[in-house]
């Protein structure tokens, strides 16, 4: 299942069950051109297009001014993970340590408070999982995720992050798992989110 198909299932499951938490499983890090274009062309109630939201999520992770960039790229945490993954590939890193390639964005010292602001990052943790020293998968955990506007772009940006890490460490690209522990909608208009789902589904 590719990125676009995984998001379509993710959105459909939410509409069917109004689930509190869900996971989008991506087996192939490519896009379905028709579903992707349908999302890009969709206009949300705030006037922004799907393409705008995708670019917003890419900026969040890869732009130096992005909300996630300082946590993921702005310290030595990622460098440690990259270095350790390279060593793991070369059998210079113990196998029992392979479940510790974790990058946390949620900081209890600053994010546990009762005030409205500042808002803790929605993306809470990135966990990289090597398999047989060949393939690398990524599990991303969100404390909350907008299933309508942000989820698709988040999955796309996480897939790009996994590709980049694999390119830098020599691993083959594995699977991606987008876990949202609380699903929410940016726009409370249920008709709009159902319209989005129907547009994507009919585009195939």
**Residue 99 pLDDT > 90, yes or no?**
no
* CATH of residue 75: 3.30.572.10
pLDDT of residue 114: 78
pLDDT at residue 112 is higher than 90? no
Other CB atoms within 10 Å distance of the CB of residue 71: 21
Q: With the CA atoms of 54, 155, 45 and 20 taken in that order, what torsion angle do they form, in degrees rounded to the nearest 10?
A: -160
Establish if 116 belongs to a structural domain. no
Tens digits of residue pLDDT in 140-192: 999 999 999 999 999 999 999 999 999 999 999 999 999 999 998 887 777 88
* 33 token code pair: 């051109």
Q: Is residue 84 part of a domain?
A: yes
CA distance 59 to 53: 10
pLDDT over 80 at 35, yes or no: yes
Token pair in block for residue 124:
């809470």
Domain membership flag for residue 155: yes
**Percentage with pLDDT > 90 across the chain:** 74
For residues 34 and 204, is the Cβ–Cβ distance under 8 A?
yes
- Joined together, the tokens standing for residue 18 give 């109004």
Pairing of strands 135-142, 183-184: unpaired
Residue 102 domain flag: yes
pLDDT score at 204? 87
Is residue 114 a part of any domain in this protein? no
Residue 152, classified by CB atoms within 10 Å of its CB into exposed (0-12), middle (13-18) or buried (19+), is buried
In a domain, 115, yes or no: no
The reported pTM is: 0.94
Domain span at 86: 3-107+121-202
pLDDT band at 96 (very low <50, low <70, confident <90, very high): confident
Q: Confirm whether 183 is domain-assigned.
A: yes
- pLDDT bin (cut points 50, 70, 90) of residue 81 is very high
**Total domains in the fold of the chain:** 1
Is residue 57 very low, low, confident or very high in pLDDT (cuts 50, 70, 90)? Answer: very high
**Would you say residue 179 lies in a domain?**
yes
């Amino acid at each position: 299942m590719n990125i676009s198909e995984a998001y379509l299932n993710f959105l459909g499951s939410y509409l069917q069950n109004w689930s509190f938490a869900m996971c989008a499983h991506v087996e192939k890090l490519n896009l379905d051109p028709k579903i992707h274009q349908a999302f890009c062309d969709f206009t949300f109630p705030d006037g922004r297009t799907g393409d705008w939201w995708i670019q917003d999520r890419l900026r969040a992770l890869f732009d130096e001014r992005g909300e996630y960039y300082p946590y993921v790229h702005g310290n030595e945490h990622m460098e440690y993970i990259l270095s350790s993954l390279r060593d793991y590939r070369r059998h210079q890193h113990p196998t029992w340590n392979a479940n510790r390639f974790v990058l946390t964005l949620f900081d209890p010292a600053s994010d546990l408070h009762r005030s409205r602001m500042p808002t803790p990052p929605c993306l809470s943790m990135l966990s990289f999982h090597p398999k047989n020293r060949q393939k690398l998968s990524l599990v991303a955990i969100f404390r909350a995720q907008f299933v309508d506007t942000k989820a698709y772009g988040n999955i796309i940006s996480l897939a790009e992050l996994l590709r980049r890490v694999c390119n830098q460490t020599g691993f083959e690209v594995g699977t991606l798992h987008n876990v949202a522990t609380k699903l929410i909608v940016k726009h409370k208009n249920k008709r709009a989110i159902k319209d989005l789902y129907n547009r994507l589904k009919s585009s195939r």
